[in-house]
Amino acid sequence: MTEEERNKKLKREIKRIKLIFKQLTYAEMKRAEFLINRTAFMKITLEEMEGMINLNGIVEDFTQDGLHHYERERPVSKIYNVMIKNYNSTIKQLFDMLPEKKSKEIEDELTIFLNKS
């Protein structure tokens, strides 16, 4: 994916997330923007890493010293596992920003959002 394509996907994802949280006030949205941007970045990056994992698998053959051969977890798999946890944590932080009375209204939209991820 080119940088231009990645930037377009990122902008679309930011817009999509902001629509989900459109009920926030202007001040709340300003506070949420950092998390929204991070969430979008992580989603696009996770999709890229998923493609790499699907193409190459989770493990790879590794040779040390030219003598010892073994399989190890691909570095992208480790990064993916850490990032998916951070992504889920960030989504939760965004959800927690919603007022209690609005959270139920948004819960269905958020569930749909998470299922698309």
Task: Write the pLDDT tens digit of every residue in 89-113.
Answer: 999 999 888 776 555 555 666 666 6
pLDDT of residue 21: 87
pLDDT in tens, 34-93: 999 999 999 999 999 999 999 999 999 888 888 888 898 999 999 999 999 999 999 999
Element holding 61 (H helix, E strand): strand 59-64
- Confidence category of residue 17, pLDDT binned at 50, 70, 90: very high
Residue in 73, 69, 80 with CA at minimum distance from that of residue 59: 73
- In the block, which residue shows the tokens 């299922």? 115
More confident residue, 115 or 81: 81
Query: What are all long-range contacts of 10-14, with beta carbons under 8 Å and residues at least 24 apart?
Result: 10/40, 10/41, 10/44, 13/39, 13/40, 13/43, 13/44, 14/40
Q: What are phi and psi of 42, to 5 degrees?
A: -65, -40
Q: Which residues of 51-62 are buried (b: 16+ CB within 10 A; e: fewer)?
A: eeeeeeeeeeee
pTM: 0.78
**Beta-carbon neighbour count of residue 93 at 10 Å?**
14
The full set of domain ranges for the chain reads 3-51+78-110
More confident residue, 105 or 3: 3
